[in-house]
Amino acid sequence: MTSPTWHEKAANLKFETRSFIGGEMVELTGGHFETINPADGSVLAAISQASQADVDRAVADGLKAFKSGSWSRMAPRDRMAVLYRFADLIEDSVELLALLDTLDMGKPINDMVTIDVPSAAHTIRFSAECIDKMTGTTTATPDNVLHYTTREPLGVVACIVPWNYPLLMAVWKIAPALAGGNSVVLKPAEQSPLSAVHLARLFVEAGGPPGVFNVINGMGEVAGKGLALHMDVAKVSFTGSTEVGKLMMIYSGQSNMKRVALECGGKTPQLLMGDLPDIATAAKTAAWGIYNNMGEVCNAGSRLLVDKKIHDEFLFSFMREAESWVPADPLLESTNMGPLVTFEHQKRVLNYIDIGKQDGAQLAFGGNVPQGLEKGAYVAPALFTGVGPKMRIAQEEIFGPVAAVIPVDGIENAIEVANDTIYGLAAGIWTSDLSTAHRLAREVEAGTIWVNCFDEGDMTQPFGGYKQSGSARDKCMDAVLAYTQSKSTWVKLG
């Protein structure tokens, strides 16, 4: 007997439309919104959405659980054990979690099974391993004084996450927040609400106390804003657009001066210098860097700054590599490009392609709705050549499969063009010269730099940006510490 296909598994799937508060599934009171399958436009489910009263309830339950000490004062090794079981349960639920995100936002099913779900479990395990490594200090003092510092959780943390990696971005937030001993209220993007409640249920199944991990679905204007303005929320951790990130800072000042951690937009350059070690490898990596996840990646390498010495050779190699990126049904395991997240976003990306043409860039290929896929929110991978560094497609975040080749003349020009943007999330550098590599890594204004590779790393690597790409760092030990606060205790002896 053959195993059921992903289509057959999807057909038998039942969607949870409620949210999760206080350890229970809850029907919210703000009405309903539809979540749409972007591959064919069909309605997946009508999801109950939060009113302000639901926001208040979720925060109150989180605060109650925090003050009870059921999680915040649990012995470190016991808290670690819960998170390890949580990670195991995520891996055991790979098919369900993979299907939910694929149907919800169009991500290829193979990416979910091989990348997103395993990475989510790995992130939780790493955060768990940090718990008993968060130590305080004692300092040198006079003989009649004992001074020591300790780290304590913040309280209720609101995690507001985007739709491009619904499961993984949620875990990037909740894992360090939970490891720090906090309670969490997770607000998924309204475009991809399906997988978050299952995360919360798995946490409780793993032994997490009720009320520690809550999920509320809803609109950003109500649920997201309500959390950011809430007087009992100690921190907002937000990944999304720069525009909304700025609002998070305003809401913090208008309420209780809560901490705000931001990971926002990007317009990542790949600096391809004339002496790069291998044009074929650079071109293959650059194609992956912009077309992976349909270009819906905050650090997508959308600006290809190509030295004039290798411009034509690189362009030929890149165009050949791009042929392997073909939009198709995301439930097929062979697919490497699915649809964009919504039809609204499809229109936005297609509009930017029109803007590129109007501004004088040359569309080398793609940028259309692929034939036979008109029912979905698909856009064929696109490449613009002859792009000026001041053009809108070189300055503004498109968040789609659109690459822009910008010719540069040497190191100085490459640095100037790379830094000529409001963003500073990441950058790729390609060169055979060690001095050039280190100089560019120092001069390029970005929080994450890759040399002769792109978008690689592990959990020890901080991820976050400079300038208007945000202020926070995800992954790494520092990310866990950022969900705690230090306390200084000065004891007079004798």
Active site residues: 263, 298
Q: Rounded to whole angstroms, how far apart are CA atoms 165 and 297?
A: 8
| One-letter identity of residue 343 | F
Residue 395: exposure state from Cβ atoms within 10 A (0-12, 13-18, ≥19) = middle
Burial 221-255 (b: 16+ CB within 10 A, else e): ebbbbbbbbbebbbbbbbbbbbebbebbeebbeee
Question: Which residue in 417, 486, 483 sits closest to 130, CA to CA?
Answer: 483
d(CA 243, CA 236): 15
How far apart are alpha carbons 168 and 165 in whole angstroms?
5
